[in-house]
Amino acid sequence: MEQKKVTKINGPVIVATGEEDIAMHDMVYIGKNKLMGEVIKLEGKSATIQVYEDTSGMHIGEEVISTGGPLSLTLGPGLIGSVFDGIQRPLKAIEEKVGSFIQKGIQVNSLDENKKWHFVPSVSVGDLVQYNSILGTVKETESITHKILYPNFEEGKIIEISQEGEYSTNDIIAKIQSKDGKIHDITMVQKWAVRKQRPYKKRLQANIPLITGQRVIDSIFPITKGGTAAIPGGFGTGKTVLQHQLAKWCDADIIVYIGCGERGNEMTEVLEDFPKLTDPRTGRPLMERTILIANTSNMPVAARETSIYTGITIAEYYRDMGYQVAIMADSTSRWAEALREISGRLEEMPAEEGYPSYLPSRLSEFYGRAGRTLNNNGTEGSVTIIGAVSPQGSDFSEPVTQNTRRFVHVFWGLDRGLAYSRHYPAIDWMISYSEYVSNLENWYEKNVEEDFLEYRGKIIKLLNEENELQEIAKVVGQSVLSDSKKLILETSKCIREGFLQQNAKSEIDTYVPLLKQYKMMKLLIDVYELADELVEKGIPMSTIKQIGFFAEYSRIKNEKSNIEMAKIDELEEKYINELNNIEEEYKDFFKKG
Amino acid sequence: MNIQYIGLESINGPIVFIKTPKNVSFNEQVEIILQNGETRIGNVISMDENVTAIEVYEGTNGINLEGTKTIFKGKPLSIKLSVDMLGRVFDGTGKPIDGLGNIVSNIERDVNGSSINPVSREYPRNYIETGISSIDGLMTLIRGQKLPIFSGSGINHNELANKIIKDSNIGNEEKFAICFGLMGAEFETAEYFKNSLKENGTLQKVVMFQNLSNDPSIERLLTPKVTLTCAEYLAFDLGYNVLVILTDMTSYAESLREVSTLKGEIPSRKGYPGYLYSDLASIYERAGMIRGKEGSITEIPILTMPNDDISHPIPDLTGYITEGQIVLSRDLYQQGITPPVDILNSLSRLMKDGIGEKYTRKDHGKISDQIFASYSKAQDVRALAKVLGESDLDELDRKYLEFANQFEERFLKQGADERRTINQTLDLALEILNILPKEELNKL
């Protein structure tokens, strides 16, 4: 049959017409430069193709060659520590090939074919294997053991398995016979269609927190392993810094960081920082657990649209090995805009604000791929998705923020006002929420302290009261408020400045263990409650303020190192004693009357 | 020899349509020869089997359908580059207009450029001392950064840009150059820059591409591209530290909208095309530094926010691409505080890694955090004072007012000839912060 030929070019979207039959989402190569593209619409003999590279220089009449299958990722050892573009081309290899500027039509392998890996088999001849059975292991980095998974859906019997030794990704490490008698050669890598979800046996409840070391997250708006969270915030509110903090400190085994349509320099920062930082749990460089996908804003728009899927498919692959994986997608708005841009080129009827009408279903599909799962090979893994949203003009009512909100369970809304006053992370406690708190009740009771959530509740209550009081104070001034209200204001100020604010640049404060978070909450609330009793008894606020607690509290986070948690207990004892002393003194005073 | 095609199908605004000839490629450079012999340059912007659309950068005025000849150059739009461009003036498409003749060179580059591989970039850390307290102290400019100025019509952003050129310390370096892209500029603005560059004695270090407000608006689409192509050559081939100033990006975006509408594309926000973000990114992201290369491109695009609205698509999308922004405030400007930098809205994202002991001073970060926190608090106090009256405020609140006033009068306000070193700036900031009681300075 006659091959399809280019008949129309409009930026990154082209139309090819011809007799040849090609399928939806098939990957194609176009013209003499062999540009990569994907079929996104079929109509009669015409196929509409989005091209992953710059189409400058393309002619009408150039040939389109179908690969006969969808755009697929190459999954296997060597993924960790790599930097890929949106369609899994390794950027370092591209640099070696063509220098500092990306050229089009470059063909490079996603994984290094020459590198030898130390394979250790974990099955023997005669064993039965099914989809995702672990055939063997490879030490991918010091902290990550890569499990070689059986990629086929039909059951099979092992008729040959390689001995422990060094193999490259092209070497056959097993021969497996399926029921129909066919023999399959298995290497350490497998192909997986980028847009297809990887199956699992069962979804599990998300009831283990993803510990991030960030107080406002772990204690106030927690996220679970396998959970979904959105970070909406206008420019300059600190989305990226927060994403970096989470990528650095959260207790996932593997981080997939997707820089989707963001700044080149920000990716460079990650590339320079992560190899230098150490994972607090393993003591190894953070890069040994990180996979970066960088499709910066000036790289082709179609690859930007795909980068999100590339990221999540890689994450699911590691989940299938039994790892806890966290995805940071920065930013999903750029992805949505890529959808809009391509939709516009297709001349589709736009829905809200020019976005295509399938935006909500694409978003729900994406966030729906998160979760904690029992895998077919018996391991348990999870994929957590944390997506940044960049609403235009900081307006949270725009379509991407609104639709994302419907599909995520945690909402960390960033506020410009907080960012202005350098309150970081600028998570606005009045609009943010986490729907996982009740799921996590048991976990906190068992692993931290019984009354953890009680203290959390009290903190939130105080913040709400403060909000109301601030409204009143705006009209009448603070001085006319009663002493007990003043105490609330004073305590909430401590919550904001001493607890919620956290300095990413400070060595001590950048990561805070959960127990210290608990002790900080307890100290503040216990002192507040006693002070409140005293105020009720008529002891003036000015006397209570004299003990110096409120001034000292805001500094605790910077002064006490994470190990010396006993010091917080000491402080609590000290201030409770001082308050008790005041009460004694006043008892005499009241008696004398 | 290239084939000439005679005749056009139709003309719509700055776009001409021609029957698709054989072997024409997308984004190919086109030469249009009018009947009177005049030549204009264009670019293939979309094509199918029947019709090819070409945008003509010098406008379609005087082009007729019958006798016009079209030549396809078989390559993307490119310009000739040479070190001799320093000190010269070009139009918005890169043609010399200073009467000193054409640029002779065998180096010719595609004006669209290619994207820098993220792994090849070097993270910018080297700060530029501009001598302006608000910028140096609070939104430090870093070499290789893209830091736009968001202004409004009538605010003196050009003076600020001029002050940065004049007083910044990179200006004294030998291998320093400025690439200036003027888009839709008033004649007066262009003259202002030329005259002040002459006064500063920097004219020989400047390459100027000017598209004035009475030049064809479509020409503006090309101006930032040629400006940056020239900057890339100077920076990454010849090792210059290049400062790129692009003004006014709003005019550029408006031209983009104009062409998009004429092409019949489906409009997105406020009629701007859906690809505005990608298009702006292809301009802004050309700033940066490359590992193993000496030069750098620092970009300061200037844009006027329509109706002073920072959430308008142009400033909004710009803010998402650039590494921060310097926002100018009409209120401050009207109070005579110049440069009228609205510090609470402004930000430099690269600042955090380019300041501190190794670069500026150890206490720099703390001082700037404290200024932001205190000044933001002072704004709340001002709001309260409006309701209650100043006399009803308590003493602490009055101190905040005093702080804010002194901060604006002494720190922000800076005369045209007043240059402050980073130490002077930070000392001044500390002095003004000391108006507040110690308990309030919890970030220091």
Domain containing residue A135: CATH number: 2.40.50.100
Question: Where a domain ends, among B48, B76, B104?
Answer: B76
Q: 3-class DSSP state for residue A548? A: coil
CATH code of residue A27: 2.40.30.20
Rounded distance between C-alpha atoms, residue A440 and residue A443, angstroms = 5
Residues 39-68 of B with CB under 8 A from A: 46-49
A76 lies in some domain: no
**B106 and B145 together in one domain:** yes
Residue A472 is given by DSSP the state H
**A266 and A230 together in one domain:** yes
Given a cut of 70, is residue A71 above it in pLDDT? Answer: yes
Question: Where a domain ends, among B354, B386, B406?
Answer: B354
Angle in degrees, 0-180, between the axes of helices A566-592 and A514-536, rounded to the nearest 10: 0
**A463 and A426 together in one domain:** no
Supply the Cα-derived Rg of chain B in whole angstroms: 24
Nearest residue on chain B to A295, judged by CA atoms? Answer: B118
Per-residue confidence band for B177, with pLDDT thresholds at 50, 70 and 90? very high
Neighbours of B85 (CB within 10 A): 24
Mean pLDDT of B25-53: 92
Question: Where a domain ends, among A413, A438, A463?
Answer: A438
Q: 3-class DSSP state for residue A590? A: helix
**A538 and A568 together in one domain:** yes
How do residues B66-115 score in pLDDT, each as one tens digit?
989 999 998 899 999 999 999 999 999 999 998 999 999 999 999 998 89
Nearest residue on chain B to A498, judged by CA atoms? Answer: B442
Rounded distance between C-alpha atoms, residue A96 and residue A521, angstroms = 52
**A184 and A238 together in one domain:** no
**A370 and A226 together in one domain:** yes
Q: Contact A364/A407 with Cβ under 8 angstroms?
A: yes
Given a cut of 60, is residue A593 above it in pLDDT? Answer: no
Residues 122-141 of B with CB under 8 A from A: 122-124
**A259 and A404 together in one domain:** yes
Closest in A10, A234, A353 to B46, CB measured: A10
Given a cut of 80, is residue B174 above it in pLDDT? Answer: no
What is the 3-state secondary structure of A224-243? ECCCEEEEECCCCCCHHHHH
How do residues A201-216 score in pLDDT, each as one tens digit?
999 999 999 999 999 9
Rounded distance between C-alpha atoms, residue B385 and residue A389, angstroms = 36
Q: Contact B236/B293 with Cβ under 8 angstroms?
A: yes
Given a cut of 80, is residue A406 above it in pLDDT? Answer: yes
**B222 and B322 together in one domain:** yes
Neighbours of A368 (CB within 10 A): 12
**B215 and B323 together in one domain:** yes
Question: Where a domain ends, among A161, A188, A215?
Answer: A188
Nearest residue on chain A to B312, judged by CA atoms? Answer: A393
CA B169 centroid distance within chain: 19
Question: Where a domain ends, among B354, B376, B405?
Answer: B354
DSSP H or E run through A250: none
A368 lies in some domain: yes
Q: What residues make up the domain containing B405?
A: 364-440
Half-sphere exposure of A135 (CA within 13 A, CB side): 32
Beta carbons of A420 and B392 less than 8 Å apart: no
Rounded distance between C-alpha atoms, residue B191 and residue B206, angstroms = 14
Beta carbons of A555 and B442 less than 8 Å apart: yes
Closest in A83, A301, A422 to B278, CB measured: A301
Q: How much of chain B exceeds pLDDT 70, in percent?
A: 99
End-to-end CA distance of chain B: 71
Q: How close A515 gets to chain B, by Cα (Å)? A: 25
Neighbours of A573 (CB within 10 A): 11
**A58 and A127 together in one domain:** no
Mean pLDDT of B28-38: 92
Bridge-based pairing of strands B347-348 and B324-327 is: antiparallel
Residues 314-343 of B with CB under 8 A from A: 316-317, 319-321, 323-325
Bridge-based pairing of strands B4-6 and B10-12 is: unpaired
Residues in B touching A343 (Cβ below 8 Å) = 274
Q: How close A450 gets to chain B, by Cα (Å)? A: 33
Question: Total domain count for chain B?
Answer: 3
Label residue B87 left, alpha or beta by phi (over 0 means left) and psi (-120 to 50 means alpha). Answer: left
Closest in A58, A272, A478 to B25, CB measured: A58
Closest in B76, B288, B442 to A265, CB measured: B288
Q: How far is CA A426 from CA A421, A437, A502, B86, in A?
A: 9, 21, 10, 45
**A128 and A27 together in one domain:** no
CA A419 centroid distance within chain: 21
Beta carbons of A297 and B277 less than 8 Å apart: yes
Residues in B touching A297 (Cβ below 8 Å) = 277-278, 281, 284-285, 321
How do residues A489-518 score in pLDDT, each as one tens digit?
999 999 999 999 998 888 888 889 999 999
Backbone φ and ψ of B390, nearest 5°: -65, -35
Q: How close A42 gets to chain B, by Cα (Å)? A: 17
Neighbours of A507 (CB within 10 A): 10
Residues in B touching A11 (Cβ below 8 Å) = 46, 275
- The residues facing A160 across adjacent strands are A175
**A300 and A380 together in one domain:** yes
Closest CA to A69 of A225, A192, A238: A192
How do residues B182-217 score in pLDDT, each as one tens digit?
999 889 999 999 898 888 888 888 999 999 999 988
Question: Total domain count for chain A?
Answer: 4
Nearest residue on chain A to B263, judged by CA atoms? Answer: A10
Q: What residues make up the domain containing A512?
A: 452-592
- The residues facing A90 across adjacent strands are A84
Beta carbons of B119 and A91 less than 8 Å apart: yes
A100 lies in some domain: no
Given a cut of 80, is residue A9 above it in pLDDT? Answer: yes
Per-residue confidence band for A275, with pLDDT thresholds at 50, 70 and 90? confident
Q: Contact A11/A55 with Cβ under 8 angstroms?
A: yes
Beta carbons of B344 and A103 less than 8 Å apart: no
For A200-224, b/e burial (b = at least 16 CB within 10 A) is beeebebbbbbbbbbbbbbbbbbbb
A195 lies in some domain: no
CA A228 centroid distance within chain: 8
Beta carbons of B118 and A340 less than 8 Å apart: no
Residues 65-94 of B with CB under 8 A from A: 76
Residues 458-477 of A with CB under 8 A from B: 474-477
Neighbours of A36 (CB within 10 A): 25
Closest CA to B204 of B89, B32, B52, B308: B89
**A49 and A160 together in one domain:** no
Backbone φ and ψ of B95, nearest 5°: -90, 135
Beta carbons of A268 and B353 less than 8 Å apart: no
How do residues A525-565 score in pLDDT, each as one tens digit?
999 999 999 999 889 998 898 888 988 888 888 776 655 77
> Does ipTM top 0.90?
no
Among A113-122, A479-488, B261-270, B309-318, where is mean pLDDT lowest?
A: B261-270
**Secondary-structure breakdown of chain A: helix, strand, coil percentages, each rounded to the nearest 5:** 40, 25, 40
**The pLDDT value given to residue A176:** 94
Rounded distance between C-alpha atoms, residue A255 and residue A268, angstroms = 17
Residue A163 is given by DSSP the state P
Q: Contact B272/A337 with Cβ under 8 angstroms?
A: no
A93 touching B (Cβ < 8 Å): no
Backbone φ and ψ of B136, nearest 5°: -60, -40
B392 lies in some domain: yes
DSSP H or E run through B206: strand B206-212
Q: 3-class DSSP state for residue A467? A: helix
A139 touching B (Cβ < 8 Å): no
B359 lies in some domain: no
Q: 3-class DSSP state for residue B432? A: helix
**A402 and A537 together in one domain:** no
Beta carbons of A268 and B123 less than 8 Å apart: yes
Residue of A103, A265, A493 to mutate, interface with B, max B Cβ within 10 Å = A265
Mean pLDDT of A562-573: 81
